[in-house]
Amino acid sequence: MPLDRPLNSLGFARPPHRTRVVVAMSGGVDSSVVAAMLAAEGYDVVGVTLQLYDHGAALAKKGACCAGRDIHDARRVAETVGFPHYVLDYENAFRAAVMDDFADAYLAGATPVPCIRCNERVKFKDLLATARDLDADCMATGHYIQRRTGPLGAELHRAADPARDQSYFLFSTTREQLDFLRFPLGHLGSKAETRALAARHGLTVADKPDSQDICFVPNGDYAAVIARLRPGAAEPGDIVDLSGRVLGRHPGVIHYTIGQRKGLGLGGLGDPLYVVRLDPDARRVVVGPRTALSTRTVPVRAINWLGDGPLGSAEHAMEVKVRSTRAPAPAILRPLSETEAEVELLAPEDGISAGQACVFYQSGGSRVLGGGWIARR
């Protein structure tokens, strides 16, 4: 009886040279290392870079992904290592799926996370479909997250390096997508290891700085971008306290986020005041003491469940993240349907905002159980 063929490093029972992998290349060090590593292992690598927004503006924009310089860097890596590379114009799709959603969410008083929408609606949807059209066996990215094979199939796990873990931004990855995706950097212990690998492969991007900003938001000025996308949509209104007393005026709710303290223009009122609620319909910014920001109950919608079996109706003890910069905290998930739930935080947290993600984790473990979008209460 013939022995089973051993699996290659990407999990296929065939030699690397017979395994085609599309690498999503942003032009940064992470995805460049993934492409170089896989090519060195003998895989049939095809690099693809997406042009996501205005190329002219991109050329002058530093510190963002998928900009003009980054497209050049990705192409240079492909030429150095020796694999084909394609640039796809996704500008219209990106604007419709990510930028317009970003603007509309802010105008509705939410605080969106466009990087999640980009993964969900562009990279892991349209680009993944393109990879299939190229007859790829899988698609690899430079994200810091781990894909492991469990008893019931592929599972999503946090990166080995907590400082680099990107699971918050990838909670909406579906089971079908997870079957096709690979994350070769998730096991690395630090970014220094990635840069060392880049240097070992002779990549010019080895010391390239990480992207910091949202790619289409120059200098972090969200309001300016929204004003450009939705001219005249920002309407002035009142700043009020919790009792409805008018304390001042504002130029538009798009200039404010939950938990904001600075820039309110309300000096001389005694104790510090924070934005505790946005009411776009009434054009009001509601402020109050820090204690008013404390929340224990979080409504979650559009859930993507990655646990074993259906979400069901029973309570789930787990850990959750309600901000990308916060550590997972103990919570109870109470399902209302297969896509809706109420999350009870065992310890209250401040500044939770509609439009952010609530990501689910296995208690005391690394597995990502999915997540959903925080809804307005």
- Cβ atoms of 40 and 190 within 8 Å: the answer is no
Catalytic positions: 118, 215
Structure tokens, 151 = 């008893």
Structure tokens, 123 = 């990279």
Q: Which residue has the tokens 């009020």?
A: 240
Structure tokens, 40 = 């060195």
- Cβ atoms of 374 and 353 within 8 Å: the answer is yes
Integer Cα distance of 344 and 64 in angstroms: 36
Closest CA to 250 of 377, 134, 109: 109
Integer Cα distance of 24 and 33 in angstroms: 11
Integer Cα distance of 354 and 356 in angstroms: 6
Structure tokens, 305 = 């469940």
Radius of gyration of the chain (CA): 22
Structure tokens, 295 = 């929340």
- Cβ atoms of 222 and 263 within 8 Å: the answer is no
- Cβ atoms of 229 and 245 within 8 Å: the answer is no
